């Protein structure tokens, strides 16, 4: 059994967090991951507060284990959601797309563990100073909105820069990746792409099929020119975005073309107008299976890798 500072901090069995993926990380998926011993997250994304409250209540009915909420700080409902998490007794909050500093006093008073997602050492340091309990350190391999630095390079640099536990995200879908993250000094991992293919995930069957069939080079990053890079699976629609960016890569132009396209991917499996966000690790995800199996596969395999790394790899130390 792998026990780390993260399992202690959150009171969970395994140091695995399921990423709070917009539209995909609903109550059913989050509860399934928490029931399996990891930490499930509900992705609040741009959803109105009453929708998020409904998801929290549904998750509470499905599991008595801890689960969390990912708050996208650019959401127009961020203030309301920050408050309702306190009211509903949410145990863990992860944050993305902004600085959660103003919410810290209320969250701390409520005993909520706060884990910002960071793409750089500078932001990691700032979040630690603000009072974060841990950090999700996300590399550019990840699916969705990303930073510029790889997990391999970023995790050890943040580990050296802060005292609080670091959770590695981006490019982890099996025990080898998870074991590697632990070797880099992380105390746990956050997994997104592999959970798109969980049986409990509400992603359209077509979406799951695309992830399961993807190979190593099948993702593309759009939005780099305007400072809002997003990683998705290559398709006809991302080709259109890339074409547009050659003429006008401004945030407004790309937003005009892509607005609603991620929802079309998740809910409709729409190949013509859908943005199927996914990480580079999709090439390692081969099938749809229950969330519990995904959690146990990553943890069990990591234990095996850590115990037998040298002998299996034919490596000797002399």
Ligand X SMILES: Cc1cc2nc3c(=O)[nH]c(=O)nc-3n(C[C@H](O)[C@H](O)[C@H](O)COP(=O)(O)O)c2cc1C
For 182, residues 6+ apart whose C-beta sits below 8 A from its C-beta are 2, 4, 302, 306
Residue nearest to ligand X (CB): 192
In the list 279, 284, 298, 305, the residue contacting ligand X (rule: CB under 6 A) is 279
- Residue 246 beta carbon to ligand X: minimum distance, rounded to whole angstroms: 25
Stretch that binds ligand X, among 18-26, 101-109, 215-223, 248-256 (CB under 6 A): 18-26
Task: Map the footprint of ligand X across residues 115-174, applying CB under 6 A.
Answer: 117, 138, 141-144, 169-172
Q: Does 38 bind ligand X (CB under 6 A)?
A: no
Strand duo 67-72 + 40-43: pairing: parallel
- Residue 248 beta carbon to ligand X: minimum distance, rounded to whole angstroms: 25
**Cα(249)–Cα(62) distance, integer angstroms:** 44
Residue whose CB is less far from ligand X, 159 or 266:
266
- Residue 17 beta carbon to ligand X: minimum distance, rounded to whole angstroms: 8
**Cα(205)–Cα(274) distance, integer angstroms:** 13
Cα–Cα–Cα angle for 55, 60, 62, rounded to 5 degrees: 95
Task: Map the footprint of ligand X across residues 61-80, applying CB under 6 A.
Answer: 70, 72
**Cα(250)–Cα(196) distance, integer angstroms:** 29
**Cα(105)–Cα(108) distance, integer angstroms:** 5
In the list 33, 45, 55, 159, the residue contacting ligand X (rule: CB under 6 A) is 45
Owner of token pair 């990380």: 25
Q: What are the residues facing 232 on neighbouring strands?
A: 220, 277
- Interface contacts to ligand X, rule CB under 6 A: 19-22, 24, 43, 45, 70, 72, 96, 117, 138, 141-144, 169-172, 190-193, 196, 277-279, 281
């Amino acid at each position: 059994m792998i026990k780390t500072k993260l399992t202690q901090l959150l009171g969970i069995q395994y140091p695995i967090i399921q990423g709070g993926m917009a539209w995909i990380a609903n109550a059913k998926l989050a509860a399934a991951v928490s029931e399996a011993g990891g930490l499930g997250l509900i992705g609040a994304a741009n959803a109105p507060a009453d929708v998020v409250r409904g998801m929290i209540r549904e998750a509470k009915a499905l599991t008595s284990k801890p689960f969390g909420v990912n708050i996208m700080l650019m959401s127009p409902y961020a203030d309301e959601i920050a408050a309702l998490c306190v009211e509903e007794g949410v145990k863990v909050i992860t944050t993305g797309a902004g600085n959660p500093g103003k919410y810290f006093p209320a969250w701390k008073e409520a005993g909520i563990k706060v884990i910002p997602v960071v793409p750089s050492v500078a932001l990691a340091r700032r979040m630690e100073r603000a009072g974060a309990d841990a950090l999700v350190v996300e590399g550019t391999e990840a699916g969705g909105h990303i930073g510029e630095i790889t997990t391999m390079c970023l995790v050890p640099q943040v580990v050296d820069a802060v005292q609080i536990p670091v959770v590695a995200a981006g490019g982890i879908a099996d025990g080898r990746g998870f074991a590697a993250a632990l070797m880099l000094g992380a105390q746990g991992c956050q997994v997104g792409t592999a959970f798109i293919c969980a049986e409990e995930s509400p992603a359209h069957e077509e979406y799951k099929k695309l992830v399961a069939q993807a190979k190593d080079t099948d993702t593309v990053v759009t939005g780099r020119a305007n400072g809002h890079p997003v990683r998705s699976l290559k398709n006809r629609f991302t080709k259109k975005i890339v074409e547009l960016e050659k003429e006008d890569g401004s945030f407004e132009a790309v937003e005009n073309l892509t607005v609603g396209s991620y929802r079309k991917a998740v809910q409709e499996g729409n190949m013509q107008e859908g943005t199927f966000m996914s990480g580079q690790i999709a090439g390692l995800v081969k099938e749809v299976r229950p969330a519990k199996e995904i959690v146990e596969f990553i943890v069990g395999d990591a234990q095996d890798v850590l115990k037998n790394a040298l002998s299996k790899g034919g490596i000797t130390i002399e």
